[in-house]
Amino acid sequence: MSVSDDQSDLRGLPIFAPQAVAVGPDDRARGNGGPIASRATKVAPAEQRPASLSASELVGENIDWGLVRSFRKQAAEILSNELRDRSVGAEREREIGREIITRLLADHVDAQVRGGGGSGLFTASEQDRMARALFDSLFGLGRLQALVDDDTVENIEVYGHDRVTLVYAGGLITPGPAVADSDDELIEQLQFLAGRAGVTGRPFSPADPQLDLRLHGGHRLAASAWTTPRPVLVIRRHPLVDVDLARLVRLGLLDTGCAAFLAACVRARRSIVVAGEQGAGKTTLLRALCNEIDPEEAIATIETEYELHLDQTPGRHPRVIAWEARPGNGQVGVDGSVAGEVTVAQLLYHAHRFNRARVIVGEVRGGEVTTMFQAMQAGAGSLSTIHARDAKSVVERLVTLAIERGNGGSDHAYRQVAHHIDLIVHITARDSRDDQGVLRRRRFVSEVVAVDPGEGGRPALTDVYTTVDGSLRPGVAPRWLNELEGVGYDDLTWVTDRRE
């Protein structure tokens, strides 16, 4: 069964109408430990939860998932047979799937009636829930689908089938409902999901224990098994795709003064790296910075996996081209290249033929560092993200990555940083409990550092904004502050903020 031409793209998979999900008062962290569950996390009071329905109703703990799995196997086999000798579009495939589900459930009810099913008969609402669960298992994410459909959920963390943590966009962290009846079932569910993720599918087995998929809506799924004591997965949702700096100010990520300064830096085509630890909100801030670019500017985004989604906001960016690297099928040719692989470096080379005014390289984790430097060399105003514990450690991390990728020695790498990066913005994320003992995550810009060529060509860092007594305060003005006047920034604003 084929659902996508891209082996890592599940955006074509159908889902039923989105539902909200909440953690009910009877849901508890399960297992004997873990990053969240081991600390006896308290469930938020009902008025603080995002919906009134219980998680068991939405994720389907009252559904016979063993029966769902049996139905899914039958439905998948029937669907495969019906499509074997013909090609249909995704919507028609879904229609056929619904017809198959309807027939299977009708046959099941008929068999129950003939056998005197009594209390075992489906009610109308139970049949509807079973149909939804079966459809989600066949075309969506099974028991995870209701969680993914909840727009208030930001991250879904699974540390085994019955140890689930939900991180909400507002910072609330709570235990979630089980997503399978056993670890083996969770692995089987992931294998089924991976196997239908494109024409050839993706392996997930002891020989290939890591899985990375792009889901419907641009969300990311990363899973591991066999190399971890229990199967684990994280789904990163992107609830803030169309976001600007003004909204991030309202959310408390930064203040108006810093937002005005960063907006001017983007408009002045300063190259910026957004840094922070995992889940700090780097991509969200990068999207907001990108939304300060003139709408008529021709933009290219180059990413290992789509996360920025600027092409999905044509009202803001009508002239954006989004490229995504492709990992290939693992077969290595005589020249050392991987069959089917398309690297970010190749995409950058290709992008130069499209007359792009600005090239944005997304997350830098490894070899992307070379592409980032090249994009900054070719044109000003590039933006990227990187994992780092603070702003100053970004320099060392970039140098280390550059050396590992054979991009010259350390002196050359330091010069690359000094000459091509203008600004480093660091976001901090902290988890703490509120007065009611509920775990919450707070994110905030904690540092802004200007980068200039210093002695010997190495980077010289200037603390433009720092955190003082819990507040972000202006520090030392960058040498090019007055250049921002040309894009409408009044440098007196920065001086005034510094004096307050």
The residue type found at 33 is G
| Predicted confidence (pLDDT) per residue in 310-357, tens digit | 998 888 999 999 999 887 666 666 666 667 788 899 999 999 999 899
Q: What is the pLDDT of residues 224-248, one digit of tens each?
A: 999 999 999 999 887 677 889 999 9
pLDDT value for 313: 84
- What domains lie within the chain, and their CATH numbers? 37-236 (3.30.450.380), 245-499 (3.40.50.300)
Query: Which tens digits make up the pLDDT trace of 240-279?
Result: 778 899 999 998 999 999 999 999 999 999 999 999 988 8
How would residue 128 be classed by pLDDT, with cut points 50, 70 and 90?
confident
| pTM for this predicted structure | 0.72
Given a cut of 80, whether residue 287 has pLDDT beyond it is: yes
Q: Minimum mean pLDDT among 164-173, 214-223, 419-428: which range?
A: 214-223
Report the relative pairing of strands 299-303 and 172-176 from DSSP bridges.
unpaired
Q: Is the pLDDT of residue 472 over 50?
A: yes
